């Protein structure tokens, strides 16, 4: 702790959130809190079977039910386009990826449980549900494939016959022949096959959507929780409704978590818009937790084999990866991109000269997969960090020395990885050393002995991770001084709970000499914010704040010049403080309100910033997890957790730590609790919180968190991004700790996630 | 199904009558009929606790109770937690300790903690963590929620002395 009192605002200040007063008093406004006058309510009837040809009967009778306004199946919306997959990457055979059709409502065939079949609109939500449930769906079942590892078996039922098999795509990275050659001459090869299981985002606010249509102007308004409305608007306009983009407004109210999964256009978005136009009334759909489990895109679901070739000293000579990624029954919006994140980041923090990676995406009769917090990078970190840990065990070097021996050294920075990533900065051994000290790594043996004395198995695990954030691009910011002396920022990122309005606002407040509550952030409205790339890939603060910084500085200069004329002085003598512009060292000043209200035109009261970032940023750090396992029950308890992260620059330490805590919780969830499980018939048997284990307060350790920042030279402000890092470092750290405990006790060197009590108990009792 | 039943109850200290369908949950009644949208629905099967309100002082999953069952009861929701403009110590502590991110689960956690602390103001840290394990949060990792409730408990025990205004 520094003895120096932190600045009230600006970069680095621990500012309390501007968002909170509304959210703690129940006056936040999420999608389902909004019900325009005259709203009709929609219900989506979903497939109960995983793979079947269907016919829908009883439509006319249902249309005649009281209160029912509309019943649609695929035939009724034939003029709407389907849900697009935006991945058109180059494949191993040189062709471009093409996606099978993904209709808004299933057209004669359903391919996963939850596939939407019919849309019913009625006067009330319960009338719509009653009506939808009166429809009769005649299912003619087809064979089902749900197992990722078995999807390419020659006898597996094929979901898209025109593709010939369930292989959706295959792409490669690196040099296959050179990798084979290096492996053939290696002193040692370490191999691990693991499952990165399917998980569900489970943000607490399930999705909802309200469609409105103004016949006079021909404009649609969609109100829905998003990670950025602009990309959604474009897809709705170009691909689905086929209208000019200017005719669609997307409004995003408060969003109750997104984690990647609220980036995307789902069927309900065009359905409520098209129905609002058809019926001349607002149409609202509110999904429940069951809808979330079966229709919102899932995360992870990879089956991977990784191998590393080592020389006699334990230095990695080459990496070879074979990754099979379940795509679900359709290719989702970004789905095929996700394993690419695993490919790009496959070599982690290590100086690995040669690699080859094969990625195959496969269709199964499951909910499509797509971005979930980390989106490919957790998969990369999980593989390389499990592998290097295993190498530490097999070489006898141990988990610390094997990493040190293979880290990219500081003198090699900036460093371009063999996978093509440009790591602009980082001191990996330094955060490892600090984390080991904070976690009292040296005292572990004594703690293990104490645990052993009471019959418990203790393990300690590391992950030294790196990830990729803030992909090249920009996010423009416009800052306006209002007539009342307050300021408004217009920006097209989209907070999903991260506190963007506070992070941006604390910088503007500092520059303009305002209190934070005088700085409003306008986001989430495509009519009020010109452009926007949304939230995702931990991009909002690195890119958005850099543009805010530029715009604020320009505005300050303009304000100084206006005030200089007013106060008949030089702009250089002026400071902005307490809502006024003051001549330094005097009491002569003009208030911002007075200045703004009396400025003709207003052009000088607006400023624009648009930082263009050419490369990505690479946050990195060390997680140290300590666990205790009860061999009688197989239950794992996390008894210590330490993180030292390099986020480049800390903008708001409160918000930053919150991001790290939350990311680790999701990761601990995946490591120890969560799994989306389909049975052989394709039923999702974990489709409620009764069956899908979410981490709770008593599952979570108290996390010790520190930063050891090395500023990015790619980002203008040195910021690397922090939204996903916790999720990326924690799964391997937790699992390496579990394996450490199991290896010490019974020589067990692999167990898959989630390490539930049952799985651990069975492993212990089989060994 | 749509025959409504008339009930009387107290909501956040105000006596009122309501006409509700028998199948309507208390949560839906609060949100849709009384327009108290601070109570949120996260799962509608009684696990996540986002819809927690106090019914006669006890934390209740309002998705698991019918509105008509609240006949004659006193219901408190997040909208009634603050004393006018003065935040409840729990609200204050959640704000100061970054106990929320997206805020969707927050009303449920606040009402759960309020009910639990009213019943037992002297909960140990372990008891606090145990009680808070009733509800789900996907954003915070719980650490700051636990911290906020612990600090609020101390403030509440110290009594209702006027709090200094904090900047």
Quick check: is B165 in a domain?
Answer: no
Given a cut of 60, whether residue A459 has pLDDT beyond it is: yes
Mutate: best of A24, A37, A256, A284, partner B, most B CBs <10 A: A24
Instruction: Classify strands B5-11 and B74-76 as parallel, antiparallel or unpaired.
Output: parallel
Residue of chain A nearest B51, judged by CA positions: A204
Q: Min CA distance, A267 vs chain B (Å)?
A: 21
Domain A299-470+615-766 belongs in CATH node 3.30.365.10: yes
Do residue B64 and residue B45 come from a single domain? Answer: yes
Q: DSSP state, A115?
A: -
- Does pTM top 0.95 for this prediction? yes
CATH of the domain at B32: 3.10.20.30
CATH fold match for the domains A299-470+615-766 and A473-613: yes
Tell me the domain boundaries of chain A.
34-142+227-275, 299-470+615-766, 473-613
- Sequence-distant (6+) residues with CB within 8 A of A648 are A425, A542, A617, A619, A709, A710, A711, A712, A715, A718, A719, A720, A721
Look at residue B163 and tell me if it is in a domain: no
Q: How many CB atoms are located within 10 Å of the residue A83 CB?
A: 24
Predicted pLDDT at B110: 98
Confidence (pLDDT) at A7: 82
Contact A135, A55 (CB under 8 A): no
Mutate to test the interface with B, among A226, A255, A651, A697 (most CBs of B within 10 A): A697
**C-alpha distance from residue B22 to each of A147, A643, B1, B19, B32 (Å):** 44, 51, 8, 9, 14
Pair B57, B98 in one domain: no
The residue ranges of DSSP E strands in A94-163, in sequence order, are 109-110, 116-122, 136-141
A697 phi and psi, to 5 degrees?
Answer: -55, -40
From B166, which residue of chain A is nearest by alpha-carbon distance?
Answer: A16
pLDDT digits (tens, 9 = 90+) for A299-356: 999 999 999 999 999 999 999 999 999 999 999 999 999 999 999 999 999 999 999 9
Q: Which of these CATH numbers, 3.90.1170.50, 3.20.20.70, 3.40.50.300, 3.30.470.20, describes A34-142+227-275?
A: 3.90.1170.50
A4 pLDDT more than 80: no
Binary contact (B140, A661; C-beta < 8 A): yes
Q: How far is CA B68 from CA A266, A268, A269, A591, B8, in A?
A: 36, 32, 34, 56, 9
Q: Average of pLDDT values for A436-440?
A: 98
- pLDDT score of B3: 86
User: What does pLDDT average to over chain B?
Assistant: 94
Residue B160 pLDDT: 67
Say how far apart CA A576 and CA B33 lie, in whole Å. Answer: 49
Q: Which of A26, A497, A499 sits opposite B38 (nearest CB)?
A: A26
Same domain, B46 and B71: yes
Neighbour tally for B118: CB within 10 Å: 13
8 Å CB contact between A739 and A459: yes
Residue B165 has pLDDT above 50, yes or no: no
Distance (Å, rounded) from C-alpha A244 to C-alpha A199? 37
- Pick the last residue of a domain from B80, B103, B119: B80
ipTM of the complex: 0.97
Mean pLDDT taken over chain A: 97
Residues B53 and B94 in one domain: no
Tens of pLDDT, residues A584-603: 999 999 999 999 999 998 89
Q: Which residue of B has its CA nearest to A253?
A: B102
B107 in a structural domain: yes
Domain identity same for B119 and B142 = yes
Encoded tokens for A220: 């649609």
Q: For the segment A704-713, what is each residue's pLDDT rounded down to a tens digit?
A: 999 999 999 9
Q: Check residue A542 and report its DSSP letter.
A: I
**Among residues B110, B112, B108, B119, which one has the least CA distance to residue B92?**
B110
Mean pLDDT of A610-629: 97
Percentage of residues of chain A with pLDDT beyond 70:
99
**For residue A269, what are the CA distances in angstroms to A272, A414, A475, A496?**
6, 44, 25, 18
Cis omega before residue A414 (within 30°)? yes
Q: Considering the domain boundaries, does residue B145 fall inside one? A: yes
**Partner residues linked to A577 by β-bridges:** A580
Assigned domain for B164 exists: no
Considering the domain architecture, whether residues B73 and B98 belong to the same structural domain is answered as no
> A204, B138: Cβ pair inside 8 Å?
yes
User: A468 near A617, Cβ under 8 Å?
Assistant: yes
Task: Give the end of a domain, one of B56, B80, B104.
Answer: B80
Residue B167, pLDDT score: 39
pLDDT band at A2, cuts 50/70/90?
very low
Out of B46, B80, B114, pick the residue that ends a domain: B80
A397-423 pLDDT, tens digit per residue, is 999 999 999 999 999 999 999 999 999
Same domain, residue pair B62 and B120: no
A664 contacts B141? CB cut-off 8 A: yes
Residue B145 and residue B89 in contact, taking contact as beta carbons nearer than 8 Å: no
| A222-274 per-position pLDDT tens digit | 999 999 999 999 999 999 999 999 999 999 999 999 999 999 999 999 999 99
Q: How far is B74 from chain A, CA to nearest CA, in Å? A: 18
Is the four-CA dihedral A284, A290, A293, A294 of positive or negative sign? Answer: negative
B162 within a domain of the structure (yes/no) = no
Residue B164: pLDDT above 50?
no
Mean pLDDT along residues A159-166? 97
DSSP A546-611: HHHHHHHHHHHHHHHHHHHHHHTS-GGGEEEETTEEEETTSS-EEEHHHHHHT-SSSGGGEEEE-P
Q: What percent of chain A has pLDDT over 90?
A: 98
- Does the pLDDT of residue B166 top 60, yes or no? no
SS (HEC) of chain B: CCCCEEEEEEECCEEEEEEECCCCEHHHHHHHHCCCCCCCCCCCCCCCCCCEEEECCEEEECCCCEHHHHCCCEEECHHHCCECCECCHHHHHHHHCCCCCCCCCHHHHHHHHHHHHHHCCCCCHHHHHHHHCCCCCCCCCCHHHHHHHHHHHHHHHCCCCCCCCCC
Residues sharing a CB contact under 8 Å with residue A627, sequence separation 6 or more, in sequence order: A458, A459, A460, A461, A636, A637, A638, A639, A734, A737, A738, A741
Cβ–Cβ of B139/A689 closer than 8 Å? no
Total number of domains constituting chain B:
2
Nearest by CB to A26, which of B21, B78, B100? B78
Across the interface, whether the CB atoms of A24 and B103 are under 8 A apart is answered yes
**Closest residue on chain A to B147 (Cα):** A702
pLDDT at A5: 63
H/E element, A707: strand A703-707
Tell me, rounded to whole angstroms, the distance of Cα A304 from its chain centroid. Answer: 21
The answer to whether residues B76 and B93 belong to one domain is no
> Is B167 part of any domain?
no
Question: Distance from CA of residue A110 to its chain's centroid?
Answer: 28
CATH number reported for the structural domain that contains residue B103 in this entry: 1.10.150.120
List the domain range (segments joined by +) for residue B103.
89-157
pLDDT tens-digit profile of B19-42? 999 999 999 999 999 999 999 999
Q: Under CATH, to which class is A473-613 assigned? A: alpha beta
Q: Which of B126, B132, B138 to mutate to test the interface with A (most CBs of A within 10 A)?
A: B138
pLDDT at residue A6, rounded to an integer:
62
Q: What is the pLDDT of residue B162?
A: 53
């Amino acid at each position: 702790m520094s003895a120096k009192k932190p600045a009230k605002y600006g970069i680095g200040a621990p500012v309390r959130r501007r968002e909170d007063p509304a959210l703690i008093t129940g006056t936040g406004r999420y999608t389902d809190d909004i019900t325009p006058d005259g709203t009709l309510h929609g219900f989506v009837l979903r497939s109960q079977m995983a793979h079947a040809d269907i016919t829908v009967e009883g439509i006319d009778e249902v249309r005649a039910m009281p209160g029912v306004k509309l019943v649609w199946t695929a035939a009724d919306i034939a003029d709407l386009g389907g849900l697009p997959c935006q991945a058109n990457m180059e494949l191993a055979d040189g062709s471009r990826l093409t996606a099978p059709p993904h209709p808004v409502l299933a057209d004669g065939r359903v391919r996963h449980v939850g596939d939407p079949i019919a849309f019913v609109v009625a006067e009330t939500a319960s009338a719509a549900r009653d009506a939808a449930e009166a429809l009769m769906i005649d299912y003619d079942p087809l064979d089902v494939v749900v197992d990722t590892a078995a999807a390419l078996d020659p006898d597996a039922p094929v979901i898209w016959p025109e593709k010939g098999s369930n292989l959706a795509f295959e792409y490669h990275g690196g040099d296959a022949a050179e990798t084979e050659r290096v492996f053939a001459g290696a002193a040692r090869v370490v191999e691990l096959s693991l499952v990165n299981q399917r998980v569900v985002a489970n943000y607490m606010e399930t999705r909802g959507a309200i469609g409105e249509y103004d016949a006079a102007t021909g404009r649609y308004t969609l109100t829905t929780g998003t990670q950025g409305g602009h990309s959604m608007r474009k897809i709705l306009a170009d691909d689905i409704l086929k209208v000019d983009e200017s005719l669609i407004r997307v409004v995003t109210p408060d969003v109750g978590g997104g984690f990647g999964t609220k980036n995307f256009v789902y069927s309900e978005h065009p359905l409520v818009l098209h129905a609002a136009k058809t019926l001349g009334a607002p149409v609202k759909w509110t999904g429940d937790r069951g809808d979330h489990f079966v229709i919102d895109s899932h995360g992870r679901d990879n089956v991977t084999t990784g191998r590393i070739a080592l020389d006699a000293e334990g230095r990695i000579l080459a990496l070879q990866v074979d990754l099979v990624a379940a795509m679900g029954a359709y290719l989702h919006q970004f789905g095929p991109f996700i394993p690419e994140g695993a490919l790009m980041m496959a070599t982690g923090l290590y100086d690995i000269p040669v690699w080859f990676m094969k990625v195959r995406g496969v269709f199964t009769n499951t909910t499509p997969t797509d971005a979930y917090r980390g989106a490919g990078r957790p998969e990369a970190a999980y593989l390389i960090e499990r592998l290097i840990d295993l190498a530490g065990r097999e070489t006898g070097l141990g988990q610390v020395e094997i990493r040190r021996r293979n880290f990219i050294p500081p003198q090699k920075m900036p460093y371009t990885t063999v996978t093509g990533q440009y790591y602009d900065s980082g001191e990996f051994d330094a955060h490892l050393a600090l984390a080991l000290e904070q976690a009292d790594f040296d005292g572990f043996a004594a703690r293990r002995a104490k645990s052993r004395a009471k019959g418990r198995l203790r393990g300690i695990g590391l992950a030294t991770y790196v990830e990729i954030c803030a992909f090249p691009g920009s996010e423009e910011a416009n800052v306006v001084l209002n007539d009342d002396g307050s300021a408004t920022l217009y920006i097209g990122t989209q907070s999903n709970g991260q506190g963007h309005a506070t992070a941006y606002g604390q910088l503007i407040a500092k520059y303009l000499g305002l209190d934070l509550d005088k700085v409003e952030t306008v986001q989430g409205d495509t009519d009020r914010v010109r452009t926007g790339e949304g939230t995702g890939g931990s991009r909002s603060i690195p890119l958005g704040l850099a543009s805010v910084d530029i715009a604020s500085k320009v505005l300050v200069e303009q304000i100084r010049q206006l005030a200089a004329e007013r106060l008949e002085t030089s702009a250089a003598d002026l400071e902005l403080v307490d809502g006024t512009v003051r001549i330094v060292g005097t009491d002569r000043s003009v208030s911002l309100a007075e200045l703004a209200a009396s400025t003709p035109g207003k052009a000088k009261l607006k400023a624009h910033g648009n930082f263009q970032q050419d490369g990505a940023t690479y946050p990195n750090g060390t997680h140290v997890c300590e666990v205790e396992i009860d061999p009688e029950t197989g239950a794992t308890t996390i008894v210590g957790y330490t993180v030292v992260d390099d986020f480049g620059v800390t903008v708001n330490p409160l918000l930053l730590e919150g991001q790290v805590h939350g990311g680790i919780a999701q990761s601990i969830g995946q490591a120890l609790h969560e799994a989306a499980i389909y049975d052989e018939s394709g039923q999702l048997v974990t489709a409620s919180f009764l069956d899908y284990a979410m981490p709770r307060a008593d599952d979570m350790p108290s996390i010790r968190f520190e930063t050891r920042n090395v500023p990015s030279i790619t980002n203008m402000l040195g910021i690397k991004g922090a939204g996903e890092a916790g999720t990326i470092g924690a799964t391997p750290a937790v699992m390496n700790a579990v394996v450490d405990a199991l290896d010490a006790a019974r020589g067990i060197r692999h167990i898959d996630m989630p390490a539930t009590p049952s799985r651990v108990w069975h492993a212990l009792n089989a060994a | 199904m749509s025959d409504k039943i008339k009930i009387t109850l107290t909501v956040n200290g105000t006596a009122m009558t309501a006409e509700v369908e028998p199948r309507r949950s208390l949560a839906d009644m609060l949100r849709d009929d009384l327009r108290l949208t601070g109570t949120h629905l996260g799962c509608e099967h009684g696990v996540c606790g986002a819809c927690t309100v106090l019914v006669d002082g006890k934390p209740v999953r309002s998705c698991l109770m019918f509105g008509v069952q609240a006949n004659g009861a006193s219901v408190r929701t997040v909208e009634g937690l603050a004393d006018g403009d003065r935040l409840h110590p729990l609200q204050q502590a959640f704000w100061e300790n970054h106990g929320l991110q997206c805020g969707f689960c927050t009303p449920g956690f606040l009402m759960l903690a309020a009910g639990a602390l009213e019943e037992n103001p002297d909960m140990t840290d372990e008891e606090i963590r145990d009680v808070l394990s009733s509800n789900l949060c996907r954003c915070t990792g719980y650490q700051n929620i636990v911290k906020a409730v612990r600090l609020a408990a101390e403030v509440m025990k110290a009594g209702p002395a006027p709090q200094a205004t904090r900047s």
